[in-house]
Structure 1
Amino acid sequence: MDPALLSARAALDWLVELGADEAIGEAPVDRYGLVARTPADTPTPAPLAAPPVVAPSDPVAVAEALAQGARDLSALAAAMEGFDCDLKPGARRFVFADGTPGAALMVVGEAPGRDEDIEGRPFVGVAGQLLDRMLAAIGRDRADADPARAVYVANVLPWRPPGNRRPEGAEIDRWRPFLVRHVELAAPKVLLVMGNSPAQALLGRSGITQIRGRWAEAAGRPALPTFHPSYLLRTPAAKREAWADLLALKARLDHP
């Protein structure tokens, strides 16, 4: 190829890299050959109009729209995983749910911990092992395919908070529309609300020591708040009250 063409091509590529990728005139202009203007010759530019004020997007409204647009659990999981969240960069894996959709019982916890973050499933650490023993005591098993005995398990947040801290109020508000839609699509008969965060998300209140054992309604379904298994591991004396809650749950499931 002609060296002159190669040089011109290299200059063009350089201009494109600088951002000059669009022609604005019919013919090239030799800017070096133009006569410099004096300040008096230079027209005064018109003042720039103030940019329009754009309201920041409301994350709760965005979550509501995405959640309502999900027609099944797979679509909901995809919407949740793609939803913008400050927790996502610090987490390893997205944690959606475990167990059998359509099970009579749905358990709602707070957020993934270290083990859940590694495996990508809720309630698989020490607290999850205690949960499985608690459920087995009332004849329930999340590994059972029979909806009458099966359990479906999810959390308020699908991403692990740093340091395993409790979910913050703003985080609960942001993810609440997804949780409510999750309940609607999983279609359980009864909800077991374990801990303050799910109680705040589904029942609109916390203070689990005061509200545990009292039936309420969440997402159009009977819901029983009780202690989170992590709390029971730290406070073994509370297991007696938790057992009373499990018996009440069993009675509700066996005799709806």
Structure 2
Amino acid sequence: MSMSIEGERETLKSLLAFYAEAGVDEPLLDDPADRFAETEREKARRTAAKPAERPAPPPMAAGGEANRPIPQRPPAPAPAAPRPATAAVPDGAQAALARELARSAGSLEELRQIMLGFDGCNLKTTAKNLVFADGNPQADLMLVGEAPGRDEDLEGLPFVGRSGQLLDRILAAIGRDRTSAYIANVIPWRPPGNRTPTPHETEICRPFIERQVELANPKVLVTLGGPSAKVLLNTTDGILRTRGAWRDHATASGMSIPTMPTLHPAYLLRNPAHKKLAWRDFLEVRARLAALS
């Protein structure tokens, strides 16, 4: 008998545990509940919550028009406050102005001053500094990247972040450093959030970098990454197709500068297996510089 009672207890425990896991946390009421009465109360509550019926329209007057007051127009809204000035959208006129200004520069310092005062590119309004160049402008080697990043924008110098540190190691491997190389970018102002510069922004900045290359007049030019190669070599090919083969950069004055397109250091940081390709390119650069010395 005791075993039977004990078994019933275990059964009840199991049943209660099942109810608890199912979320049942209240016992049944002692008194029976009239669920139909609750339903009627619910219907009455919903009926009371309904919006009042719209009144019938007024009777028509003798002329056929409703005998109702003429609706009044709401007062005109107050004029909106003027919006704050925003950066101008790049256009062809700004690119033409950039070409005119770039041609007028007789030295690299004059070009830098012109770019400091130029307001035709919207990137300038969000950048902290003009990133003009670094290194030795008298060097026989010039390297051109695409655009500054956060570190470059803060310091006002190109290639000072992680990609710049890798570029320094690459230059050291061919016996160079920043005292024997001149470094610049196609875009001298950092795009917000390091986004890709738009074609309009690139066309506005193109005259400046072309004049910068012309004034520096290096014996050898290296384009770092696809965007730089496309601007300075007027090509639409991707960098993996372009790199490793000598091209010529033609200046506005008719000079032709041998140019080696190669991979950008930032790309090499993401794809270290391709460092061997960049190493081959820089070996070519070292050999060409030795031949031209």
Structure 2 unaligned runs (5+)? Answer: 1-90
Q: Which amino acid aligns with 1:165?
A: R
Aligned-residue offset at 1:112: 0.5
CA distance in 2, matches of 1:60, 1:217: 24
Q: Which amino acid aligns with 1:124?
A: V
What's 2:202 paired with? Answer: 172
CA distance in 2, matches of 1:64, 1:105: 25
| C-alpha contact 2:94 2:121 (8 A) present in aligned 1 | no
Aligned-residue offset at 1:166: 2.2
Deviations 1:75-133 (A, max 9, x none): 10111122221111111111100000120100000111000000000000000000000
What's 2:104 paired with? Answer: 69
Decide which structure has the larger Cα Rg and report it: 2
2:233 is aligned with 1:197: no
2:248 is aligned with 1:212: no
Aligned-residue offset at 1:237: 0.9
Aligned-residue offset at 1:57: 6.2
SS at match of 1:132: helix
| C-alpha contact 1:140 1:151 (8 A) present in aligned 2 | yes
What's 2:8 paired with? Answer: none
Query: Structure 1 residues 57, 199: closer, same or farther in 2, change over 3 A?
Result: closer
SS at match of 2:122: coil
CA distance in 2, matches of 1:124, 1:166: 19
- Relative contact order (C-alpha < 8 Å, sep 6+): which is higher? 1
| C-alpha contact 1:172 1:197 (8 A) present in aligned 2 | no
1:2-41 aligned at under 5 Å gives the runs: none
Q: Which amino acid aligns with 1:67?
A: A
SS at match of 1:78: helix
Deviations 1:36-87 (A, max 9, x none): xxxxxxxxxxxxxxxxxxxx86222111110000001111011112222111
* Number of equivalent positions: 195
1:66-105 aligned at under 5 Å gives the runs: 66-83=101-118, 84-105=120-141
Q: Percent identity?
A: 55
What's 2:142 paired with? Answer: 106
